[in-house]
Structure 1
Amino acid sequence: MRIFVAGGSGTLGRRLVPLLVARGHQVTATTTSPGKLDLLRQMGAHAVVMNGLDAMSVGETVASAGPDVIVHQMTALSMAHAGKPDLKHPDRWAATNNRLRTEATDHLLGAAAATGVSHVVAQSMANWYGGPEHGRVIEADPLPPEEVAPKMRKSVEALRYVEDRVAKANGVVLRYGPFYGPGATDHVLDLVHRRKFPLVGRGAGYFSWVHIDDAASATVLAMEQKANGVFNIVDDDPAPVGEWLLHVAACAGAKRPVRVPKWLARLLAGEIAVKMMTDGRAFSNAKAKRELGWQLRYPSWREGFKEELA
């Protein structure tokens, strides 16, 4: 198939594009930076510069590529682009990313309709938000109400928007858990080594990690099978911060993380950071495994981080 990967030079795109090429697909991959064109060519893709926030740029680039499938992997949350995360003001920090989830999604769906592309794959997040008080979050569980996180209202609305728009277009939305693996957790490891990633309270908030290569393999399955709807893309082993952070520090040869009370963390990092560290919910990957036949190379972050940091 002819595959159009919007955002091919991003963290996931760099693992996804070579995988698609290896499976015999003809890949056109985009970047916003001319300096990354050679990187995409080295991965085997036809490389082009595209501005996802410009409808004309998107329309012309998609029309020229003539793809069978469009994969939306454009983000603006990398450390290099956005700098240090500002969890006290998440909507302000993620403003460009939110536009990519709304405006750029519309541009890609419009280009797909105009050129007869039958399937679109887009990304969302499986993070601390939403879900029941007990048990794992499934795809049918709603995203959080605005009062849960008022300072990230626009970010939540952007997630709702991309999930709703792509689902209505019979596409598929993949809710990726936090990535780890090559190029995905350098900032986390830097903070761990500098003891700048503390345990907040009891560290009871769950993270549902996924290795970057497992995320890429799930994306390929969703694309090749032309699945539709929403899928959580996380590993089998959601774990509280108090468990995984100690493991990562030990694997990295770093000192044990410091522990800070909630009130102090609230002053230093804001309410959202405290919620993530103390109140995050575990996500279920049962639907992706059942319906996509997804098999994880790294079923647990325990083995994955150990191998990555060996």
Structure 2
Amino acid sequence: MRVLVAGATGAMGKQLVPRLVSAGHEVFAMTRNESSKAALSELGAVPTVADALNRAQVEAAVREAKPDVIIHQLTAIGHIDTRHFERSFAATDRLRIEGTDNLLAAGRAAGVRRFVAQSNGAFTYARTGGPVKTEQDPLDPSPVSQMAPMVAAIRHLESAVLGAEGIDGIVLRYGAFYGPGTSMAPGSAQLEAIRKGKFPIVGDGGGVWSFVHVADAAEATAAAVDKGAPGVYNIVDDDPAPVAEWLPELARKLGARKPMRVPRFVGRLAAGEPGVVLMTELRGASNAKAKRELGWRPAHPSWRQGLQVS
């Protein structure tokens, strides 16, 4: 099939494009930078230059590619400052709203049959009920103010993709990425903060995280090109774990001291309300549906073995 990947130069795109090429698809890789064309060609894709926020450019790119499937991996997430969570996600929120609308409009005009989009299953589920959520469970109906724009952008993306007339919409709610090119890659600032004892456990550390290796997420995304009914799929590993469990284990792997514990009010001063939510209230996600309907099995079933620190 002809597949257009929007957001092909990020950590996910670098994993995904070669897998699509190896599967026999004709891959077109959308980038806004002329300088990225050579690298995308080396991955086996046909590069096409377009700014996702410019509808005319997106329409031209889609007309040129004539894809059967569009894969939306557009993000602009760098360092996440939990004290200013909304600023950290502002550019990505815009891509998830305007970029999604532009890609869907162009896809409808070009007769695209399937649309696969990156969503977020790591930070977005309702913070009530059991510790592990399925795709049937609601997103957070009342996120803290700094996280509200991110959740609203996710809602927009998912509603637009699943409601697109004449297109089979697939939404992949990825867990927290680790692996090459991610914020938890060996030598990353986040791992270094844990190594240096600057990443304490806030409150009871009861926030449950679901992780996924970026290569496993790419495998699931490649599978979604031609497998699975329209709908939402959690793309996470088999081992959701509370912060009080995974953070000390990661510190041990790094050869660091056991993380200190601080009360919620201290965490709020240092990391803002979103930081406290991530540490104490987050809910994990189940991957049972993705395994069942996409035929996917993570090669790294647990962060305990998969997360490399060197």
Pick the TM interval, shorter chain: over 0.9
CA shift digits 1:263-302 (9 cap, x unpaired): 1110111011101101111211111111111111011111
Q: Residue in 1 aligned with 2:63?
A: 63
Q: Are 1:125 and 2:120 counterparts? A: yes
Matches within 5 A, 1:151-170: 151-169=146-164, 170=168
Contact 2:133 2:283 in 1 (8 A): yes
Matches within 5 A, 1:160-199: 160-169=155-164, 170-184=168-182, 185=184, 186-199=188-201
* Matched residue SS, 1:270: helix
CA shift digits 1:195-224 (9 cap, x unpaired): 222211221111000111110111011112
Contact 1:5 1:70 in 2 (8 A): yes
Q: Residue in 2 aligned with 1:235?
A: 237
Where structure 2 has 5 or more consecutive residues not aligned to the other structure, the ranges are none
Rounded to whole Å, the distance in 1 between the matches of 2:124 and 2:44 is 37
* Matched residue SS, 2:197: coil
Contact 1:137 1:284 in 2 (8 A): yes
Contact 1:50 1:61 in 2 (8 A): yes
CA shift digits 1:13-42 (9 cap, x unpaired): 110011111111111112223332222122
* Matched residue SS, 1:12: helix
How many angstroms does 1:135 deviate by? 4.5
CA shift digits 1:41-68 (9 cap, x unpaired): 2211112222111101110011111111
Q: Residue in 1 aligned with 2:101?
A: 106
Contact 2:124 2:151 in 1 (8 A): no
How many angstroms does 1:226 deviate by? 5.7
Contact 1:32 1:50 in 2 (8 A): yes
Q: How many residues matched?
A: 302
Q: Residue in 1 aligned with 2:10?
A: 10
Contact 1:89 1:152 in 2 (8 A): no
Q: Are 1:143 and 2:145 counterparts? A: no
How many angstroms does 1:243 deviate by? 1.2
Rounded to whole Å, the distance in 2 between the matches of 1:120 and 1:302 is 33
Range 137-146 or range 222-231, more displaced:
222-231
* Matched residue SS, 1:124: strand
Q: Are 1:134 and 2:127 counterparts? A: no
Q: CA RMSD in A?
A: 1.5
2:221 alignment partner AA: T
Contact 1:128 1:279 in 2 (8 A): no
Rounded to whole Å, the distance in 1 between the matches of 2:242 and 2:131 is 14
CA shift digits 1:48-99 (9 cap, x unpaired): 222111101110011111111000001010x2xxxx4232232233111111
Contact 2:131 2:208 in 1 (8 A): no
Where structure 1 has 5 or more consecutive residues not aligned to the other structure, the ranges are none
Matches within 5 A, 1:264-283: 264-283=266-285
Q: Residue in 2 aligned with 1:285?
A: 287
Contact 1:129 1:143 in 2 (8 A): yes
Q: Residue in 1 aligned with 2:298?
A: 296
* Matched residue SS, 1:227: coil
Rounded to whole Å, the distance in 2 between the matches of 1:187 and 1:165 is 35
2:41 alignment partner AA: R
* Matched residue SS, 1:123: strand
1:221 to 205, 223, 231: 223
* Matched residue SS, 1:224: coil
Rounded to whole Å, the distance in 1 between the matches of 2:112 and 2:239 is 36
**TM-score of the aligned structures, taking structure 1 as reference length:** 0.93
* Matched residue SS, 1:172: strand
Over 3 Å counting, the alpha-carbon distance change for 1:239 and 1:8 in structure 2 is same
Over 3 Å counting, the alpha-carbon distance change for 1:108 and 1:249 in structure 2 is same
2:285 alignment partner AA: F
Contact 1:37 1:47 in 2 (8 A): yes
